[in-house]
Amino acid sequence: MVKIGLLGCGTIGSGVVELLERDSCRKNDLSIEKILVRNKDKHYNKPYGCKLTDSFNDIISSDVDIVVEVMGGIDPAYFYVKQSLLKGRHVVTANKDLIAKFGSELQNIARQNGVRLLFEASVGGGIPIIKPLKECLAANNITEIRGIVNGTTNYILSRMDSSGLDFETALKEAQQCGYAEANPEADILGLDAARKLAILSSIAFRISVNYEDIPVQGINNISADDISLARYLGCSVKLLALSRKTDHGIMARVAPVLLKNTDSLARVSDVYNAIVVKGDAVGDVLFFGRGAGKLPTASAVVGDIFDIVRHNMSSQGVEDCKLEDPAPVKLDTAGCKSDFLIRVKVNDRIEAMNIIAGLFSRFELIFPERAKLGRLIDQDQVIFVAHDIYETDIDKRIDLLGTADCIDNVLSILRVEGEA
């Protein structure tokens, strides 16, 4: 009998309990022995009420074989996971914050103590992505990862597109549906996506990518006008996590972008996630599914538990995904160019166009037909796509644009992936 200690019994934890109570799990002799919760009274009447504890010592001093951490956050999860590994317990976690910050350290502790640390559920919820990167695509030189890895922001942008909602209304709806936290900053500011991108990039490129070094832009400034204009151009606005190998290192960023509707990622809606991995042998491979939620994420957690059991509770001969030891890795943006869709509010259209022509050698003015746009955009706006701009130059050019007397305000700047 394989005994499991569960840390946390919220949305994901209760999903783990539900899946482990199924007959298929019972036949594999898996049993939850203890469940750590903050408030036992909250769960007292549940079928697993007799297994509850509010003391981590009850978990670590028992004879559990695998500790499953689904609490989230860093404190106290980091301490609990570290102590479990030091005590010779295998650990399965869904905690992307923990893995992004301390994954390498915790893996080293696991190896030194002859146990395993698995974290498939930390990225993409129920989508298998971490193990395929390590095993199925092992023959490939991975050159690029691009994906929609945050269900909350994808739901918000999808609702703004499909129903014409403004950002605040779509966010409130996401919170009411349980897709967004009461404090949604980590999601809408792109921080959650950056942590997931750092984990995937570290595995795929076999170097340490610090999520704090990844340039991040959230969706909090995306307006209904941006969404309508994207639709008019045959595009969708998506929060894209992107990393790729360059001649000088790794380029990585998280930002809202315009994707042509023919792009496979542009068609990913609602809370779904999708990740495209480019390998030199296999080409593009798409991983798609529910990126969050009770049972999808619990499915990935239980899958890791089965992986440990299949290897007879041993780390001997098992080569898990290795997160490289922390080392300064300079992310390359200097040599990268992008196209940008830019909207500015002007008081003199002719003079504004002259300023734009002086700042951007290659640009295309956009004159949307109101009948096709679906909403009114103020006549005092100039809209254009600037082509082939170095990432390191765009802020300087936008600053110069904003200081021109003929321009009242720079309303929005959106990267364009592919041809808009």
> From CA 182, how far away is CA 247, in angstroms rounded?
42
Q: 127 near 291, Cβ under 8 Å?
A: yes
| Active-site pick, 34, 131, 196, 245 | 196
Going by the DSSP 8-state scheme, the letter that residue 332 receives in this structure is: P
Structure tokens at 173: 């709806």
H or E element: which one contains 143? Answer: strand 142-148
> From CA 176, how far away is CA 359, in angstroms rounded?
44
Sign, CA torsion 76/81/84/89 = positive
> From CA 96, how far away is CA 197, in angstroms rounded?
10
H or E element: which one contains 18? Answer: helix 11-20
Which residue spans within 205-271 are E strands per DSSP? 235-246, 249-260
**In this structure, are strands 66-69 and 2-7 parallel, antiparallel, or unpaired?**
parallel
HSE, CB side, 13 Å, CA atoms: give it for residue 212. 6
Neighbours of 32 (CB within 10 A): 19
196 is annotated as an active-site residue: yes
Q: Identity (one letter) of the amino acid at 55? A: S
Active site residues: 196
